[in-house]
């Protein structure tokens, strides 16, 4: 999140809480097994933010310096803290009955900034428990937004992504495009088929040089690209 | 031009920063793969792979516009 989603001039503070002192200590050391880091963490993120310690992986010092670890019992009143922008409360409410869930969600709402977000687990919902949340669909997920605050920008329709922010114009939308590079025609055909199934428009190149030529000719733009492309900031 | 050089070349161009790079490799190219990831590739997939593995990688990268599942 720190590298993809936040404005560059934001600083990030993370408060990690648990009721268990053992778990708090583990969070403090930020050390995880191969199995734990292999569950959905992209490889590039692993290489970038973790270092190998024996058979384990440890979160690097920079990321750990953003984290404060604190004990918290969700069923008790929360201690006063500066308001949070986002609260991740994933796969923990399943352990509580409905009135307790409602009480916890209310407390989370009170510790968020107006319009702040709460992330729940895939099988968890605010529906019928604490209806003060606004449910905001995002892809296959639903975010829960606390009341108040400025309106968030509308999410792009499915199958498109925002490629360029121009402060003077409407957002430019385009289908997602993939370039398959492989010297084997069989492999190019196979990958192209998979990508088309996933909704991509697909281009092909048989080697790296030809691929660079394709990138040049299609005029790739990106959200924060260089001034030379004119319309992007 | 090998995969690693391609990744390095793409990553040198600021206007191509938004491009997501996925390597499709074989076991024997492992050391080159690690260098490619360090140079700015986002993900890799080891050949041979079932279609579900490919879709799963797209999901991890947040690049599955059709929302199809593995």
Minimal C-alpha gap between A26 and chain B (Å)? 25
pLDDT of residue A42: 79
pLDDT of residue A167: 41
Residue A208: list chain B partners with CB under 8 A: 1-3, 5-6, 9
Q: Choose among A151, A156, B67: nearest CA to A165.
A: A156
Integer-rounded Cα Rg, in Å, for chain A is: 22
**A102-146, pLDDT tens digit by residue?**
999 999 999 999 999 999 987 888 988 999 999 888 766 788 999
Q: Indicate the Cα dihedral angle A191, A196, A202, A207, nearest 10°.
A: 0
- Which helix or strand (DSSP H or E) is residue A210 part of? helix A208-218
**B29-65, pLDDT tens digit by residue?**
777 778 888 888 888 888 888 888 888 888 878 776 5
Q: Choose among B40, B26, B36, B28: nearest CA to B3.
A: B36
What integer best gives the mean pLDDT of chain A? 82
pTM value is 0.54
pLDDT of residue A225: 41
**A165-224, pLDDT tens digit by residue?**
444 333 344 578 899 999 999 999 999 998 888 888 899 999 999 999 999 888 776 544
Query: For residue B31, which phi and psi values (nearest 5 degrees)?
Result: -70, -35
pLDDT of residue A68: 92
Closest partner CB to A208 (pick from B6, B16, B63): B6
Inspect the interface and report whether the beta carbons of B60 and A42 lie closer than 8 Å.
yes
d(C-alpha A99, C-alpha A23), whole Å? 26
d(C-alpha A136, C-alpha A145), whole Å? 7
């Amino acid at each position: 999140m720190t590298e993809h989603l936040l404005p560059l001039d934001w600083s990030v503070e993370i408060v990690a809480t648990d009721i268990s002192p053992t778990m708090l200590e583990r969070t403090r050391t930020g050390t995880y097994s191969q199995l734990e880091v292999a569950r959905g963490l992209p490889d590039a993120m692993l290489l970038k933010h973790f270092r190998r310690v024996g058979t384990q992986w440890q979160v690097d010092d920079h990321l750990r310096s953003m984290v404060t670890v604190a004990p918290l019992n969700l069923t008790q009143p929360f201690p006063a803290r500066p308001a949070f922008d986002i609260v991740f409360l994933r796969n923990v409410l399943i352990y509580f009955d409905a009135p307790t869930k409602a009480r916890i969600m209310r407390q989370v709402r009170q510790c968020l900034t107006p319009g702040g977000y709460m992330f729940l687990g895939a099988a968890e919902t605010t529906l019928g428990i604490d209806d003060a949340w606004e449910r905001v669909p995002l892809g296959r997920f639903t975010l829960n937004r606390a009341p108040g605050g400025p309106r968030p920008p509308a999410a792009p329709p499915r199958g498109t992504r925002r490629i360029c922010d121009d402060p003077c114009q409407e957002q430019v939308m385009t289908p997602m495009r993939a370039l398959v590079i492989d010297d084997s025609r069989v492999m190019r055909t196979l990958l192209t088929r998979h990508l088309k199934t996933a909704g991509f428009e697909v281009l092909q190149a048989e080697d790296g040089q030809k691929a660079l030529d394709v990138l040049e000719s299609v005029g790739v733009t990106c959200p924060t690209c260089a001034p030379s492309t004119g319309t992007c900031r | 031009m090998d995969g690693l050089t391609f990744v390095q070349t793409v990553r040198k161009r600021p206007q191509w920063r938004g491009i997501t790079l996925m390597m499709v490799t074989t076991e024997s190219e492992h050391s080159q793969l690690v260098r490619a990831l360090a140079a700015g590739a986002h993900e890799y997939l080891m050949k041979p792979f079932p279609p579900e593995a490919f879709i799963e990688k797209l999901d991890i990268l947040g690049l599955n516009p059709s929302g199809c599942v593995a």
